[in-house]
Amino acid sequence: MRVTRAQAAQNRAHIVATASRLFRERGYDGVGVAELMAAAGFTHGGFYKHFRSKADLMAEAAASGLSQTATGAEGLGPAEFVESYVSREHRDGRGDGCTIAALSGDAARQPTDIKGEFAAGIEQLLTVLQASSETPGGADADQRVDRATLIGMLARSVGAVMLSRACPDDSPLADEILDVCRKEILASLAHVSDDQPAALSPEA
């Protein structure tokens, strides 16, 4: 039966979503095209109707996953983001979690186009976090932070999750890393907020 353009686009999106999840769970080298297509419910031969190569799918899956991370951060102030990100739930939910924490190590060894997707995705996330921190009356509105602080916050949050995941799931150190880093990052954000000048009142 002939597949319509709409159905083909839907199939492609489903393959990308499946790949994004599996890559986060196992890494780029941990899953092959045949297994990936089977997980999506398609035959191996159908892969090349949608993508030129696995690398093309990797780039598209990265873009999809990174966009998902940025969307999930919308409306979260810096402290709220850290509380959610540097957590046991995120640490254990690798397949549904942040692509940056799951695949940055892998991406560093990939071609430039994949690294470019990561750079664009990280930039998108920073933009979302910056916008959330500057929204008057929004979450953590008293913690408006500059770009340099947000980059440091994100790098430390990603590092905490990666270090924790490197430990066995039942290791006390896995939880200790998350707890210590979360408290340190939140304390540094509070310090930044304390250093900011108080806003002038309308009557001033």
pTM, 2 dp? 0.85
What residue type is assigned to position 167 of the chain? Answer: C
For 102-119, the pLDDT digits (tens) are 999 999 999 999 999 999
What does the alpha-carbon distance between residue 17 and residue 1 come to, in Å, rounded to a whole number? 24
- What residue has token string 């060894």? 109
For 89-104, the pLDDT digits (tens) are 999 999 999 999 999 9
Most distant CA pair in the chain, distance:
73
Spell out the per-residue pLDDT of the chain, length 204, in tens. 567 888 888 999 999 999 999 999 999 999 999 999 999 999 888 898 889 999 999 999 999 999 999 999 999 999 999 999 999 999 999 999 999 999 999 999 999 999 999 999 999 999 999 998 776 554 444 456 899 999 999 999 999 999 999 999 999 999 999 999 999 999 999 887 555 554 444 444
Q: What domains, with CATH codes, occur in the chain?
A: 54-195 (1.10.357.10)
